[in-house]
């Protein structure tokens, strides 16, 4: 007999079905055993009555929460008064003719059935595969899946191509510390894991791709916060022959349609999304990611906004100049000469952020495609000619072979899903997240490696 999912079984009153899944809760009412069976589509009440076979009655006595079982039986309407309006399957149940245990389960370290008493974070992350069994987390996994699938369909329909870029690459100036990977075949050399595919996507524009996107993992070795993980996912977008307005219009349309498709109970505070300049945002709200909700206590309100006209440069703690976004962002300067003549701290940039309920959910810019202007930006940032050559030579070289004007943006998927799901930590929307200090408690990463591995990589650990 073919296995039927619980959701498929609900309308099949009168038919015999074979269900497989986990024992959610079990109640023993004398001679009758009731239990709820759980699979990825929902819950179903199963009744093992006293006229079931002896083997089935024995199996029903033996099962415990989280046992994996198979149940064959007829779907029938529940007795009046016994319905459970909270469950989609609350008006039916399955009368078990046969029950078999497929796999027994030890008592889990925390309850799956009832998440009200949330277990300690460490325990949940150590047993993440059990934590993920909670209905709340299953719903989040589904929501995230829908966000990803909707996004792919939306962009594909508009001529965007998804292109994968390397994970083993070279350090890029995104502002955080890099994760490094020693190169066995090149003693003393290291790959850097991408903080973002920024330079690759710009090189794809030189390659004639014109409309690129990628749902891509990025790595940043920085202190974690509730909205930050060391590895996170971006929807990375780049377009050729566009201006700021084209990028913002695309993102606005994507998010308006995405929200109505995957989170229809949410209400957008304002469409078109309000736009404010960085200077306005700072003056009116004292932050570059203002929370523009009209009813902040309303969990269903989403206040998207664009913040534009960021400054190009900022003074870093050590007194040197840094790029507010990244050096590839186009300054609002007429020429390389004009940039060099200006006070760098007064130069604005073609940079935009996308904010939602007080969180930065995307950042992007129009890029400098004029090699002379790009060179002037690097000089303003204090890079020596040799540094520029070593770090960005490939990009400057590429720009000598016919480069289209281009720009893009990168929404953070985790933050968006967190806000759509009403969660307060992006850990909740990542299947296997890391702790605040960057550990994966389930697999025990990072971990020591043996000496032979280190020798092969030409590395020695200094105690």
Residues that bind ligand AMO (CB under 6 A): 174, 196, 198, 220, 228-229, 232, 234, 360-365, 408-410, 412, 414-415, 426
Task: State the minimum distance, in angstroms, from the CB of residue 152 to ligand AMO.
Answer: 18
Give the Cα-Cα-Cα angle 22, 27, 91 (nearest 5 degrees): 75
CB of 431 to ligand AMO, least distance (A): 15
Q: How far apart are CA 45 and CA 59, in angstroms?
A: 16
Angle made by CA atoms 109, 113, 116, in degrees to the nearest 5? 85
CB of 221 to ligand AMO, least distance (A): 10
Task: Identify which of residues 134 and 406 has a Cβ nearer to ligand AMO in the complex.
Answer: 406
CB of 220 to ligand AMO, least distance (A): 5
What is the C-alpha end-to-end distance of the chain, expressed in Å? 61
Q: Which residues in 387-439 belong to E strands, given as ranges? A: 406-411
Shortest reach from residue 410's CB to ligand AMO, in Å: 4
CB-wise, 95 or 192, nearer to ligand AMO? 192
The count of residues in the chain is: 463
CB-wise, 126 or 425, nearer to ligand AMO? 425
Residue 17 or 324: the one with the smaller Cβ distance to ligand AMO is: 324
Q: How far is the CB of 164 from ligand AMO (least distance, A)?
A: 16
How much is the CA Rg of the chain, to the nearest whole Å?
Answer: 28
Residue 272 gets which letter from DSSP? S
Residue nearest ligand AMO by beta-carbon distance? 412
The answer to whether 169 and 192 are in contact (CB under 8 A) is yes
The owner of tokens 């008592």 is 107
Q: Dig out the tokens for 293 from the structure.
A: 């909700």
β-bridge partners, 219: 231
- Comparing C-alpha atoms, which of 262, 226, 215, 305 is closest to residue 421? 262
Q: Are 127 and 177 in contact (CB under 8 A)?
A: no
Q: From the CB of residue 284, how many other CB atoms can be counted at a distance below 10 Å? A: 10
Closer to ligand AMO by Cβ: residue 9 or 204 = 204
Closest CB 418 distance from ligand AMO, rounded Å: 9
Q: HSE, CB side, 13 Å, CA atoms: give it for residue 366.
A: 22
> Other CB atoms closer than 10 Å to residue 151's CB: what's the count?
23
Shortest approach of ligand AMO to residue 414 CB, angstroms? 5
Q: Please say which residue, 228 or 293, places its beta carbon nearer to ligand AMO.
A: 228
The least distance separating ligand AMO from the CB of residue 331, rounded to whole angstroms, comes to: 14
Tokens of 456: 């092969």
CA gap 370, 359 in Å, rounded: 33
- The DSSP H or E segment spanning 355 is strand 351-356
Between 10 and 205, name the residue whose CB sits nearer to ligand AMO.
205
């Amino acid at each position: 007999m073919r296995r039927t999912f619980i959701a498929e079984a609900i309308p099949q009153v009168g038919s015999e079905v074979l269900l497989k899944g986990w024992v959610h809760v079990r109640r023993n009412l004398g001679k009758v055993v009731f239990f709820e069976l759980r699979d990825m589509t929902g819950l179903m009440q199963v009744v093992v009555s006293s006229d079931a076979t002896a083997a089935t009655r024995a199996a029903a006595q033996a099962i415990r929460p989280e046992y994996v079982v198979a149940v064959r039986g007829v779907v029938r309407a529940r007795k009046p008064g016994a319905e459970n309006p909270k469950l989609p399957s609350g008006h039916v149940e399955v009368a078990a003719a046969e029950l078999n245990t497929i796999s027994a389960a030890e008592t889990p370290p925390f309850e799956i059935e009832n998440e009200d008493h949330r277990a300690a974070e460490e325990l949940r992350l150590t047993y993440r595969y059990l934590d993920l069994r909670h209905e709340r987390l299953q719903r989040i996994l589904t929501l995230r899946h829908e966000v990803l699938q909707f996004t792919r369909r939306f962009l594909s329909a508009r001529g965007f191509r998804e292109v994968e870029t390397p994970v083993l690459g070279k350090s890029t100036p995104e502002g955080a510390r890099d994760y490094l990977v020693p190169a066995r075949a090149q003693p003393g050399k290291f790959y850097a894991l991408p903080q973002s595919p920024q330079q690759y996507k710009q090189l794809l524009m030189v390659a004639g791709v014109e409309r690129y996107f990628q749902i891509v993992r990025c790595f940043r070795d920085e202190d974690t916060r509730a909205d930050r993980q060391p590895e996170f996912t971006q929807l990375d977008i780049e377009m050729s022959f566009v201006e700021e307005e084209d990028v913002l219009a695309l993102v606005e349309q994507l998010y308006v349609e995405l929200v109505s498709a995957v989170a229809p109970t949410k209400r957008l505070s304002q469409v078109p999304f309000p736009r404010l300049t960085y200077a306005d945002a700072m003056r009116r709200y004292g932050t570059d990611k203002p929370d523009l909700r009209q009813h902040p206590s309303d969990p269903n309100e989403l206040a998207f906004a664009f913040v534009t006209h960021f400054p190009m440069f900022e003074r870093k703690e050590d007194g040197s100049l840094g790029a507010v976004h990244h050096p590839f962002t186009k300054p609002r300067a007429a020429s390389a000469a004009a940039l060099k003549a200006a006070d760098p701290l007064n130069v604005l940039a073609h940079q935009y952020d996308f904010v939602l309920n007080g969180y930065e959910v995307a950042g992007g810019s129009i890029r400098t495609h004029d090699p002379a202007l790009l060179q002037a930006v690097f000089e303003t940032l204090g890079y020596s000619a040799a540094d520029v050559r070593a770090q960005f030579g490939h990009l400057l070289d590429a720009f000598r072979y016919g480069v289209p004007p281009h720009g893009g943006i990168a929404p953070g998927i985790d933050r968006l899903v967190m806000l759509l799901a009403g969660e307060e930590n992006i850990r909740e929307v990542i299947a296997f997240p890391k702790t605040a200090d960057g550990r994966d408690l389930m697999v025990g990463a990072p971990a020591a490696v043996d000496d032979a591995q280190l020798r092969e990589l030409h590395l020695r650990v200094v105690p």
